[in-house]
Amino acid sequence: MSEIDFIGPLHRSTQRDYLGRVNEADKAECAEIAKQWGFDYWDGERKYGYGGYNYDGRWRPVAEAMAKHYGLKSGDRILDVGCGKGFLLYEFTQVVPGVEVAGLDISQYAVENAKEEIRPFLETGTAEKLPFEDSSFDFVVSLGALHNLLIHELHPALKEIGRVGHGESYVMVEAYRNEREKVNLLYWQLTCGTFFTPQEWCWFFDQAGYSGDHGFIYFE
């Protein structure tokens, strides 16, 4: 299990007003709306989530880096757990022609409004019980999704990722390394259920038997 940073440059390219997030609106109410995973979270006002999540090619460098690192090739099967609107999966199909993709997300809205080319390969569901056969994917990825689970949900989700994959896997979650990053994360997040330091995440990965790679993003 290795720590790899595929997402850091993309994450750091966004400017965030942490104090504004908590001072300009009722943060608790915004979080409750965000956790409905509907229009407001994806395409409503920024205080509820993304503030409009549209395809813009931002995930292409991530797909390219992962494809190169893991040696993905035509015919490989890729699963994205917490796929959202399927933008990363679309990029995989462009970067590695001939790959087969599948995605799962808790948000029916995201799946119904996914990128048209990818929509037929997506379905709604939960990470704790993936609707796929054992060892049916060559690469399983989950970016920015598992930290939304509570601990009792996180453990089976990590086991499920191991169960459905027979090759490589990569999980990225939010974390904090110091008190400033902890406060910024608490100010900014709307949907997190689990807050860990990197060391705690790695301990939890071990407890769940997760043996794939991982990465973290921080709110500096």
150 is a domain residue: yes
- Count of structural domains, the chain: 1
**Cβ atoms within 10 Å, residue 36:** 12
The tens digit of pLDDT for each residue in 141-161 reads 999 999 999 999 999 999 999
Chain-centre distance of CA 143, in angstroms? 2
1 is a domain residue: no
Please tell me the distance from the alpha carbon of residue 161 to that of residue 166, in angstroms, as a whole number: 10
* CATH code, domain carrying 200: 3.40.50.150
Average pLDDT, the chain: 96
Q: What is the mean pLDDT of residues 67-79?
A: 98
2 is a domain residue: no
- Give the pLDDT score at 50: 95
The tens digit of pLDDT for each residue in 180-219 reads 999 999 999 999 999 999 999 999 999 999 999 999 999 9
128 is a domain residue: yes
- 57 is in which domain, residue-wise? 8-217
Whether 187 and 209 have beta carbons less than 8 Å apart is answered as no
